[in-house]
Every structure is written in structure tokens, then in C-alpha cells.
Amino acid sequence: MRFATQTIRVGQEPEGEFKPVIPPIYQSATFAWNSLDELPRVDYTRVTNPTRIALEEVVASIERGTHCTVFGSGMAAVMGALSLLQQGDHLLMASDIYGGTYRVAYKVLPKQGIEVTEFDGRDLDSIRAAIRPNSKMLIFESPTNPNLRLMDIAAIVALAREHGLITVFDNTFASPYLQNPLEFGVDVVLHSMTKYINGHSDVISGCTVTRNAEFGAHFAEYIRSVGSVPSPFDCWLNLRGVKTLELRMRRHCENAQAVAEYLEAHPRVKRVHFPGLPSHPDHELAKRQMRGFGGMVAVELDGTGEQARRVAESTQLFLLAESLGGVESLLGYPPVMSHATMSEEERLKKGIPPTLLRLSCGIEDPQDLIDDLEQAIARM
């Protein structure tokens, strides 16, 4: 089965007396046993649930893994992946990482006796320099947020393997349609399914996917222990959303390409960050590593921070909101939104000037999106 068929059929075979074409929402906290001698396959929804199992099967298949665990949020999935670490371990973390992961690294992990060192994901020497005898795991993501730089997944995995590190990769920005990091040898992939996998901005959820049976069993044990589970209804919404992942991703990519090309030619634009543009420093790597360039675009306006804020507040179709990956286009202003916890100095060091806007291109008509940006930039 190929990708689009997998999203529609895997884990979703009509079963039981009524053979529903759509897996039901098993909105039950607990399940009755036949006898005390026979442990039921599903007995309590914190441990697992049939609607969650269906979702885990389909996500495992499209991410080309064997074990998927669906969590109640992307951050719960990050915590699940990090639970492979223990006191005294050292984590290598790409400095270009999602803000929530960054927060966990400095606010939560130190209390658990886990040390963190950042590395530059585009410089293997910076990884080599960060490795210590107690290094256990390396976590990274590509494309990065908000500058959409790429990291060479295969090269980083090869280096991590030489040093016996577990590799964890956040594939939220690309989605399983555009890249499958397990194929490059990554040990654990995680997603905020809140974004492209669900795709309709109506659920918070996340997942881990792996081919390592020991890690798979660890995540199942972890989630039943800490209880960071999704509701059956949220699993069902995800099942409904994932069916159109291929169609949506194709359109996200087309729209982002059109928006990026339009912006690159605009006289009030200083720079566009989009891996699908030949001017992007990682364009060649993106062609090699990804099956498309994604739906995210970052744009640096040629003006002041004040003017950028005005543009951010002037779009009508691009809604000013956190998050990404939904069918509707969203605009984020990193200094106030995704990167608000960093100082201006830190943001500048990470290449996030006050003139940068982040666009999550939805699946609307591309000309409408361009017209919307045109009228907003005209107000600069």
C-alpha cells in the first residue's frame, strides 16, 4: 500500500457485527473482562483504547515505523522521548529547536539530573565538541523554526551512531508525507500531531514512532504510568484528519512555493526563507532529503520592527495565531509569540530579527493568499 491508501485504510478495517467504515469513537474509560483468566486486549483507556490503537497503526505505517504511541500533546510526546534518559545522562540538543523543547531542556531536565549541551545542527564539529562520556541522546529537527534551515539527517545519525547516542527527531514541520527520518536511521521520530497530521487546528496531540521494539515497549509503559493520553474523540478527529494528509501536503507545498516566489520578488522584502527557493542555502539538501519543501515560509521585511508588526496585524486571511499545519493560513510574529521567552539578543543570535514574520500557508486559493499579503505589506 502506498501513502494515500495507507492513511485511509491502515488500522481502519470494518470490524464486528456492523462493520463500520469509519472506526467508532470508543468513548469508554473501561472495558469488561470475559473472565479473570483472560486479560482483555483493552481494559482501561489510560493504558490504551481501540480508537487510539487505530490511529497508532496508521501513523506507524505512514512514518514507516513499527511502534507508535499517541500522546495527549506534542510536548507529552517530547517528554515521552526524553524519558529514555535518566539521572546522570547528558543530552545533545540542536540549538534551533522548538521553544517548548528548549524550555523543557532548561526548566525540567536539570531537576531530573540530566545535563544539556546545545549544538549547531549544520556543523558536525560542533556535535563532536559537545559529546561527553555520559552523552546518551541527540535531539534535533529539520526544517527548523522559524528560519527553515535544514540539517543533514543521515550525516548527524551516522555521527551519533559512532558514539552510541539515541537519536530523536521532531518531524512536525515536514510531516511523514515529506520525509521519514526512520529511513535515515533515526531511532525515535516524534510529532506534534496538532499540526499537519491532524491538519484542522481542532486537536492537541502528539506521538512517538520507532522501529525499536524495546523503545516501543518503553513508551507504552511510560504513557500508562504517567497518563499523558489523548481522549478517544481526539484520536478519532486525528483519524479523520490524517486521511487527507497527502492531498493537504501537496497543496500546502504548492501554496507555500507560490507565496515564497511572490514575496522574493517584492520590493519591500529583504529575504525569504523557504527551502523550495533556489536562493535558500539548503535548497540542494532539501531536494535530496525531502519529497517536497513544506508549507512554512518565513519572510524578513525591509523595514522596521514596528512596520512588521503592522503587517502582521493587517492580514485578513492569514490569521494572527500560534500554531501551523492547519488548512487555514496562519501568521506568527516570533518575538511576541513562538520566541517570546527569548531575549532580543538571543533572538538576533538565532537569526530572528524583529522584521521576521512566519507564515503557515494553508490550502486556500494561492492568489487569495498573495492578494492578502499584498494589501498588508502596502500598509507598512
Type of residue found at 254: E
Alpha-carbon distance 39 to 42, whole Å? 8
Question: 102 catalytic, yes or no?
Answer: no
Give me the sign of the Cα torsion angle 65, 67, 69, 70: positive
- The DSSP result for 114-125, as a single string, is -EEEEE-TT-HH
Work out how close the CB of 367 gets to ligand PLP at its nearest, in angstroms, rounded to a whole number.
Answer: 28
Alpha-carbon distance 316 to 299, whole Å? 17
Catalytic residue selected from 26, 98, 102, 177: 98
Comparing CB distances to ligand PLP, the nearer of 131 and 229 is: 229
Comparing CB distances to ligand PLP, the nearer of 100 and 366 is: 100
Catalytic residue selected from 195, 211, 243, 358: 195
Comparing CB distances to ligand PLP, the nearer of 80 and 206 is: 206
Comparing CB distances to ligand PLP, the nearer of 257 and 338 is: 338
- The DSSP result for 25-55, as a single string, is ----SB---SBTTB--S--BTTT--HHHHHH
- The DSSP result for 160-192, as a single string, is HHHTTPEEEEE-TTTHHHH--GGGGT-SEEEEE
Comparing CB distances to ligand PLP, the nearer of 6 and 142 is: 142
Comparing CB distances to ligand PLP, the nearer of 298 and 376 is: 298
Question: 98 catalytic, yes or no?
Answer: yes
**Residue least distant from ligand PLP (Cβ):** 74
CA dist 294 → 1, 32, 83 (Å)? 23, 45, 30
Task: Using the structure block, give the residue that is written with the C-alpha cell 507564515.
Answer: 359
Catalytic residue selected from 89, 152, 170, 282: 170
Work out how close the CB of 177 gets to ligand PLP at its nearest, in angstroms, rounded to a whole number.
Answer: 16
Work out how close the CB of 97 gets to ligand PLP at its nearest, in angstroms, rounded to a whole number.
Answer: 8
CA dist 142 → 108, 192, 211, 238, 300 (Å)? 23, 14, 20, 23, 20
Question: 222 catalytic, yes or no?
Answer: no
Comparing CB distances to ligand PLP, the nearer of 89 and 170 is: 170
Alpha-carbon distance 338 to 280, whole Å? 22
Work out how close the CB of 105 gets to ligand PLP at its nearest, in angstroms, rounded to a whole number.
Answer: 13
Work out how close the CB of 206 gets to ligand PLP at its nearest, in angstroms, rounded to a whole number.
Answer: 5
C-alpha cell at 322: 500560534
Work out how close the CB of 162 gets to ligand PLP at its nearest, in angstroms, rounded to a whole number.
Answer: 27
Q: At what angle do helices 213-226 and 74-82 cross, to 10 degrees?
A: 120
Question: 195 catalytic, yes or no?
Answer: yes
Residues in contact with ligand PLP by the rule CB under 6 A:
73-75, 98, 100, 141, 145, 170, 172-173, 192, 194, 204, 206
Work out how close the CB of 141 gets to ligand PLP at its nearest, in angstroms, rounded to a whole number.
Answer: 6
Alpha-carbon distance 199 to 361, whole Å? 12
Alpha-carbon distance 34 to 255, whole Å? 53
Whether the CB-CB separation of 56 and 65 falls below 8 Å is answered with no
Q: How many CB atoms lie within 10 A of CB 342?
A: 17
CA dist 73 → 70, 152, 190, 352 (Å)? 8, 27, 11, 26
Residues noted as catalytic: 46, 98, 170, 195
